[in-house]
Structure 1
Amino acid sequence: MKVWWRLSDYISHRRAGEAYVRCLETAGFEPARGPEDADLAVVHEDPLFWPRIFRACPILSEMPVAGYAVWEGGTLPEVYRQGLSLVREVWTASTFSADALAQGHPCVKVLPHVVEVVEPAAQDLRWAAERLGAGRYFFSIVDALNPRKNLEALLRVFARVHAVVPDVRLVLKQYRKEVPLRGLSGVVSLGGDMTDGQIAALHRGALAYVAPHRGEAWGLGLSEAMSHGVPVLATGWSGNMEYMDEGNSVPLHYELEAVGGRMAGLLPHFTPDMLWARVDEGHLEREMLRLVRRGPDPAMCVRARAVAERFSPARVAAVLGVLLRGFYSRNI
């Protein structure tokens, strides 16, 4: 059976989709070059764009199509409903995301993201040492333009931690567009393209990966950090709780609050009355200081690393195979 997996151009969606394509052969399927060469298709993209994709590729309306999408909030965006109506099933990364998407589609199934461990080569470790020098640091991969990632809270909390422990740093890998962060003591901002090995080297050297986000459908950076046995400090709400718990990470306390006008003005997906998380900054500060003073808990690091086995390519390929065979049998 041939499967056409339509990949997104958005960096995180594309990366997750490419991992699924690699899983196809393991699951017993052949990747197709295009929909005309396929028995079924998976459109992996924001549902806002599905109507446009179907118009550009009319053959999709004549074949079984599953849509792969994620959503980072508890309420389905109205702009998703038209796109969701075009596909026969919806697949998504987490139970949290599935609950939201089920508000607009009767058949939503969970296909977890693949967690692949990338081993940094010797040159990657040398590169990190040359860029950062010696010393302890916290690490985070951030989109400074997206309020959902909550970089502002991370910078506020780190400033307080740095005032107590001046030799600790915060290393930020910015993606999409690098925003200047000059004049912030102890903050190292890294932009531009990096290899997977270089990112792995940054993970390996970190005290912890820190993500006081307002909502995630999964959180690729978080699961990636855990695959290296790195402590993860992240808001204890939304899709990352698919694999985080108090034994393998530090889910941060939070309260739910209205999204408000700022985010609603940036993306049509949000309305001001939707809810997302406001992290407990005091809890984050205490946990960062505890790590600086006591170091990571070795048992927690071992349990964190186990996430890579739980969501290994082989295991996710098995889930993918069940979904594809069931989808095909129901729709042919």
Structure 2
Amino acid sequence: LCLAACRPRRRCSARRHFGIDGGWGMMPVRVRVVVAVVLLAAWAVGAAAPPTVIWMAPFWSGGGYCSEAIDFVLAMQDAGLDVAIRHHGDSVDRGFVAGLDASTRSRLKAMENRFYSLPSTSSAIVVCHSEPGAWAPALYHTSECPPRSGAAVTIGRTMFETDRLPDGWPPRLDRMDRIWVPTDHMKGIMAPLVSKTIVEVVPEPVDTDWFRPDGPRMARPGPCASASSVFLSIFKWEPRKAWDILVEAYAKEFAGDGDSVCLMILTHGYHSTTNDYAGEIGRVLREKHGLSPPETLVVLPEGLPNEQMPSLYRAADVFVLPSRGEGWGRPHVEAMACGIPIIATNWSGPTAFMTEANGYPLRYDGMDTIDGGAFQGHRWARPSVDHLRTLMRLVHNDVHGRKAKGRQARLDVVRYYAKDVLGNLLRQRISQYAESTDRPEL
């Protein structure tokens, strides 16, 4: 507040507002102090409540953006923010909605009702949380974000997994006041390509009360029942996840280990032409590597309910996913919250949270150029099969070491990514934005 000490050559608008500018210097010091305290109190009352946050995202769709958005809005509401939501950016998955726990579904429905009760969006802070093709003017049919009625501040939340942005993204990013990305890696790619907007790093929150080490463990499938080391991998069925690298490394490294080690895979389709994942894994191993698929490589049934995910993580000893690129790495952080160390490619998203102390960074052998598809010409990492074999063997042999890394993983996630931590961060950000747009110059 500049009542007591205005900057040189700057007139104090608060003085002018209260009609005291001309006689301020003539007032006794004690009188000035009293006036300053009164004005400060009046200013604080008017600035106490942050504005409503309207968060538009694929809340009812399932998938990465959906899960991330749900944790964001719950964290903000827990931090005392007024949050309204609207579905945006993808189609509704009725099965996913039915699988949500009752408490989460009820809270989301209440926030959705809050949106439809708002008289206007013009004074709200609006977050468009999706790929930018859904932002107004959208390239396909979806709810309009930002709303046509306007907003005090517009924020785009998005991410990508290669070494560059898709064509057409930069102009859309520049229509927002701010862009939130999950990592410094993503900011480094995006910031040089926009000229009008501010790019800020906002990590993903994780519910560390839900994903925690203690609690029931899912029964391991038959081939894994007696294993002393159980690896778990969770991913969308697409080339970016490098499942081919994973199964090659596992089959080659543990061909002679019998049932002492096991790999559980939970996957789901993503614009794929097959849901016979075990059959496709077997075909790749036989045709490309001359290997038979190990009996201890188990593909779990698709569609595991969300409420069972913590027990699945706790059934494993290590989470492994040698992705070619990640925007963040949500299953990685959920596993870490459950006290499970991770093996992940040391490039893109996981570099934000994975260290030698809490996991096993996987080397990559340079970058590959994507050949074909929507992202032809982009580049992503080439995970090292040999190093993945080495790390998986190390994990299998060093039970004490992997448990120590798992404990550190839990500590790191609670410290940096718990919902209360991110909720408080977002409350601070929202308050700062409100100050910059709503408050008079003081």
- TM-score, structure 1 length as denominator? 0.89
Question: What is the CA distance between 1:315 and its match in structure 2?
Answer: 0.7
Deviations, residues 206-230 of structure 1 (Å, cap 9, x unaligned):
1211111111121001111111121
Correspondence for 1:169: 262
Mapping of 1:77-116 within 5 angstroms?
77-105=166-194, 106-116=197-207
Partner residue in 2 for 1:5: 55
Q: Does structure 1 residue 62 correspond to structure 2 residue 147?
A: no
The reply to whether residue 284 of structure 1 matches residue 388 of structure 2 is: yes
Residues 60 and 69 of structure 1, relative CA distance in 2, 3 Å threshold: farther
Q: Offset at 1:237?
A: 0.9
- Worse overlay, 216-225 or 180-189: 180-189
Q: Pick the aligned partner of 1:192 from 278, 288, 302.
A: 302
Q: Does 1:40 align with 2:125?
A: yes
CA contact (8 A) 1:93 1:217 kept: yes
Could you tell me which residue of structure 2 aligns to residue 29 of structure 1? 81
Contact 1:114 1:312 in 2 (8 A): yes
Mark the structure with the bigger radius of gyration: 2
SS of the residue corresponding to residue 113 of structure 1 reads coil
SS at 1:329 equivalent: helix
Q: Please report how far the alpha carbon of residue 243 of structure 1 lies from its aligned counterpart in structure 2 after TM superposition.
A: 0.9
> Percentage identity across aligned positions?
24
Is 2:414 the counterpart of 1:309? Answer: yes
My pick for the range that moved more, 202-211 or 121-130, is 121-130
Partner of 1:102: helix, strand, or coil? helix
- For the Cα contact (< 8 Å) 2:341–2:409, is it kept in 1? yes
In the alignment, is the contact (CA less than 8 A) between 1:74 and 1:99 conserved in 2? no
Matched with 1:259 is 369
CA distance in 2, matches of 1:181, 1:225: 23
Shift of 1:306: 1.1
Distance 2:418 2:394 in 1: 31
Q: How many residues align?
A: 325
- Specify the SS of the correspondent of 2:344: strand
Query: Is residue 154–residue 178 contact of structure 2 (8 Å, CA) maintained in 1?
Result: yes
The CA distance in 1 between the partners of 2:370 and 2:436, in whole Å, is: 42
Q: Is the 8 A contact 1:138 1:209 kept in 2?
A: yes
Change (3 A) 1:293 1:271: same
| 1:139 paired to 2:200 | no
**Matching of residues 197-212 of structure 1 within 5 Å:** 197-212=307-322
Contact 1:35 1:59 in 2 (8 A): no
Residues 335 and 342 in structure 2, CA contact (< 8 A), matched pair in contact too: yes
Question: Distance in 1 between the 2:239 and 2:137 partners?
Answer: 27
Aligned equivalent of 2:278, options 170, 173, 181 = 181
Q: Counterpart in 2 of 1:51?
A: 136
CA contact (8 A) 1:121 1:197 kept: no
Residues 119 and 197 from structure 1, CA distance in 2 versus in 1: closer, same or farther, beyond 3 angstroms?
A: farther
Aligned to 2:347: 237
The reply to whether residue 216 of structure 1 matches residue 326 of structure 2 is yes
Change in 2 beyond 3 A, CA 1:307/1:209: same
Could you tell me how far apart the structure 2 residues matched to 1:35 and 1:293 are? 56
The 1:132–1:79 alpha-carbon spacing in structure 2 relative to 1, beyond 3 Å, is farther
Deviation at 1:47, TM superposition (A): 0.9
Residue range with higher mean Cα deviation, 198-207 or 35-44? 35-44
* 174 and 56 in structure 1: CA distance in 2 versus 1, 3 angstrom threshold: closer
The answer on whether the counterparts of 1:76 and 1:103 sit within 8 Å (CA) in structure 2 is no
Residues 223 and 298 in structure 2, CA contact (< 8 A), matched pair in contact too: no
Counterpart residue identity of residue 313, structure 1: K
Q: Letter of the aligned partner of 1:95 in structure 2?
A: D
Q: 1:281-302: per-residue Cα shift (whole Å, max 9, x none)?
A: 1111011112222325133222
- Give the structure-2-normalised TM-score: 0.68
Unaligned runs of 5+ in 1: none
User: CA 1:261 to 1:126, structure 2 compared with 1: closer, same or farther past 3 Å?
Assistant: closer
Alpha carbons 1:124, 1:197 under 8 Å: kept = no
Partner of 1:320: 426
Cα offset, 1:133, TM superposition: 3.3
What is the alpha-carbon distance in structure 1 between the residues aligned to residue 218 and residue 313 of structure 2? 14
Q: Contact 2:368–2:382 at 8 Å: present in 1 too?
A: no
1:122 to partner: Cα distance: 10
The aligned counterpart of 1:293 is 397
Amino acid aligned to 2:399: G
**1:38-93 CA distances to partner (integer Å, 9 max, x unpaired)?**
41210100112213459853734621211110112232222312321321110111
Q: 1:237 to 1:61 in 2, by over 3 A?
A: farther
Other structure's SS at 1:139 match: strand
Separation in structure 2 between the aligned mates of residue 317 and residue 327 of structure 1, nearest angstrom: 15
Change (3 A) 1:235 1:77: same
SS of residue in 2 equivalent to 1:78: coil
Answer yes or no: is the 8 Å Cα contact 1:175–1:192 preserved in 2: yes
